[in-house]
C-alpha cells in the first residue's frame, strides 16, 4: 500500500508516499480501508518536532483520524464494507495512523457510521466534530436559549461549533484576532475582533468555548453571566498551562469552568453527531481538499497556515 512513513523531522517538502506492507490483522484490531482523513495540528507537531520524542514508535505513519470501510473485520462482528470513523487512542503515535491506504486499528477506537455523506464531508467530522460536540454538550450543556461566545473561532473546531450552535438556535458571538478574517465568521450572529480583552465588550453570554486557551482564559471567565459555563478546549494562544491561576479570584462567583479532552470517543457521541447532522441537513464544512497523491501539497498548505478550516485528504479515488 501507499503510505506516508516518517522516522525523523519531516518538513512538508520532504513528505512523500512510500510503499509499505498492508498491516496483518490480529484479535481486537480491524483492518480499515482509508477513504479519507482530516489533518490536524498535532500531526504537524509530530512531523516537525515530536517525532524525536522517545515515546513515538518509529518509523510511524502519522494520522490521528480517518473515515473508511472495514476491509477485514477480524473478531469485531462487523461486516466487510461497513462505513466507519476512527480517531485518537494512540493512532499515528503509538501505532501507525491514517496517512495510508489501509490502517490497522483497535476495535474500541473504530465507530460504525450511518451516513450517506460523501467521503470528503465525512472526513471533516471525526476529531473536529467529536471535540466540538463534547465541548458544547457534555461540558457546556448547550441549549437553544444560550448565548455562546466562541473565542478563536477561525479554526476547524470554531467553524463546526458555529454550525452546531446556530442549528440549535443559539445566539453566537464568534471572535478572531485578524480583522481580515471577520468575514469568515458571517455564520455567527456577531463577529468580533479579539485584541486580547473581551470583558465588557460582550453581553448576555451564558456559555463560552475558549479555543485560545490559557492565554485568554481569565478574561473569558469574566465575560460570562453568573451561572454561566466556560469550556477550555483549545490552545491556539500557544500557552498550555496556567501557573499562578487563583481559582478564588480568577473564577468569578457563580461561574463554572470545565475543559474537554477528545481522547475518549464513544459510539454514543458518534451516533448523536450523525443524527444531528441528518436532522438539521448539515453538510460539515471544510477548508481545503487534496488527493492522497498530493499529500506534500496538503502538508505545505498546513505548514503555511493558508487554509481556513479543516484540510481533508481523499484516498483511492
Ligand X SMILES: NC(=O)c1ccc[n+]([C@@H]2O[C@H](COP(=O)([O-])OP(=O)(O)OC[C@H]3O[C@@H](n4cnc5c(N)ncnc54)[C@H](OP(=O)(O)O)[C@@H]3O)[C@@H](O)[C@H]2O)c1
Asked if 314 interacts with ligand X (CB under 6 A), we say: no
Least separation in angstroms between residue 261's CB and ligand X is 5
Q: Which of the residues 42 through 71 are near ligand X (CB under 6 A)?
A: none
Compose the 246-285 pattern: x for residues touching ligand X by CB under 6 A, - for all others. --------------xxx-----------------------
**Grid cell in block for residue 139:** 461540558
Q: By CB under 6 A, is residue 166 in contact with ligand X?
A: no
Choose the stretch contacting ligand X; rule: CB under 6 A; options: 22-30, 46-54, 67-75, 150-158.
150-158
* Cβ 240 to ligand X shortest distance, Å: 10
Q: How far is the CB of 131 from ligand X (least distance, A)?
A: 4
235 near ligand X, rule: CB under 6 A: yes
Nearer to ligand X, 76 or 233 (CB): 233
List 76, 82, 98, 131, residue binding ligand X (CB under 6 A): 131
- 288-291 and 256-259 beta bridge pairing: unpaired
Read off φ and ψ for residue 198, nearest 5 degrees. Answer: -110, -15
Decide if residue 181 touches ligand X (CB under 6 A).
yes
Task: Classify strands 83-87 and 65-72 as parallel, antiparallel or unpaired.
Answer: antiparallel
- Tell me how far, at minimum, the Cβ of 266 lies from ligand X, in Å: 14
Q: Which of 260, 258, 213, 209 is nearest to 235 (CA)?
A: 213
In sequence order, what are the residues at sequence separation of 6 or more whose Cβ sits closer than 8 angstroms to the Cβ of residue 69?
32, 33, 35, 80, 81, 82, 83, 84
Q: Does 197 bind ligand X (CB under 6 A)?
A: no
Whether 143 contacts 168, CB under 8 Å: yes
SS3 232: strand
Alpha carbons 18 and 245: distance in angstroms, whole number: 47
Site size with ligand X, rule: CB under 6 A: 25
Q: Which is nearer to ligand X, 26 or 306 (CB)?
A: 306
Toward ligand X, which CB reaches closer, 100 or 155? 155
Q: Applying CB under 6 A, which of residues 166, 177, 218, 296 lies at the interface with ligand X?
A: 177
Q: Does 176 bind ligand X (CB under 6 A)?
A: yes
* Spatial distance between the Cα atoms of 273 and 267, rounded to a whole number of angstroms: 10
The yes or no reply on residue 236 touching ligand X (CB under 6 A) is yes
Show contacts with ligand X in window 212-231 (CB under 6 A).
212
At closest approach, how far in Å is the CB of 70 from ligand X? 25
Inter-residue contact 142 to 207 (CB < 8 Å)? yes
Please give the helix or strand (H or E) that residue 3 lies within, else none: strand 2-3
Phi, psi for 132 (deg, rounded to 5): -65, -45
Our finding on whether 211 is near ligand X (CB under 6 A) is yes
SS (H, E, C) 242-288: CCCCCHHHHCCCCCEEEECCCCCCCHHHHHHHHHHHHHCCCCCCCCE
The closest alpha carbon to 233, from 159, 133, 135, 153, belongs to 135
| Segment interacting with ligand X, rule: CB under 6 A, options 57-65, 125-133, 223-231, 288-296 | 125-133
Among 40, 147, 163, 314, binds ligand X (CB under 6 A): 40
Residues that bind ligand X (CB under 6 A): 40-41, 127-128, 131, 152, 154-157, 176-178, 181, 211-212, 233-237, 260-262, 305
Amino acid at each position: 500500500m501507499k503510505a506516508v512513513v516518517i522516522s525523523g523531522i519531516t518538513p512538508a517538502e520532504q513528505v512523500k508516499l512510500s510503499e509499505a506492507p498492508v498491516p496483518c490483522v490480529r484479535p481486537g484490531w480491524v483492518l480499515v480501508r482509508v477513504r479519507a482523513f482530516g489533518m490536524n495540528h498535532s500531526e504537524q507537531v509530530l512531523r516537525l518536532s515530536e517525532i524525536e520524542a522517545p515515546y513515538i514508535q518509529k518509523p510511524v505513519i502519522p494520522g490521528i483520524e480517518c473515515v473508511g470501510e472495514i476491509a477485514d473485520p477480524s473478531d469485531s462482528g462487523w461486516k466487510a464494507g461497513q462505513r466507519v470513523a476512527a480517531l485518537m487512542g494512540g493512532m499515528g503515535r503509538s501505532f501507525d495512523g491514517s496517512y495510508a491506504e489501509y490502517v490497522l486499528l483497535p476495535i474500541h477506537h473504530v465507530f460504525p457510521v450511518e451516513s450517506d455523506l460523501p467521503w470528503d464531508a465525512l472526513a471533516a467530522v471525526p476529531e473536529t466534530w467529536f471535540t466540538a460536540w463534547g465541548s458544547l454538550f457534555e461540558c457546556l450543556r448547550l441549549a437553544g436559549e444560550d448565548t455562546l461566545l466562541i473565542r478563536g473561532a477561525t479554526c476547524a473546531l470554531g467553524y463546526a461549533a458555529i454550525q452546531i450552535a446556530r442549528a440549535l438556535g443559539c445566539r453566537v458571538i464568534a471572535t478572531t484576532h485578524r480583522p481580515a478574517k471577520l468575514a469568515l465568521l458571517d455564520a455567527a450572529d456577531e463577529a468580533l475582533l479579539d485584541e486580547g480583552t473581551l470583558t465588557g465588550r460582550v453581553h448576555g453570554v451564558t456559555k463560552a468555548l475558549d479555543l485560545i486557551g490559557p492565554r485568554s482564559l481569565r478574561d473569558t471567565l469574566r465575560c460570562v453571566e453568573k451561572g454561566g459555563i466556560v469550556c477550555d478546549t483549545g490552545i491556539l494562544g500557544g500557552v498550555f498551562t496556567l501557573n499562578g491561576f487563583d481559582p478564588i479570584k480568577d473564577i468569578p462567583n457563580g461561574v463554572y469552568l470545565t475543559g474537554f479532552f477528545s481522547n475518549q470517543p464513544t459510539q454514543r457521541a458518534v451516533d448523536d453527531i450523525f443524527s444531528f447532522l441528518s436532522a438539521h441537513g448539515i453538510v460539515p464544512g471544510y477548508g481545503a481538499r487534496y488527493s492522497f497523491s498530493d499529500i506534500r501539497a496538503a502538508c505545505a498548505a498546513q505548514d503555511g497556515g493558508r487554509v481556513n478550516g479543516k484540510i481533508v485528504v481523499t484516498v483511492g479515488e
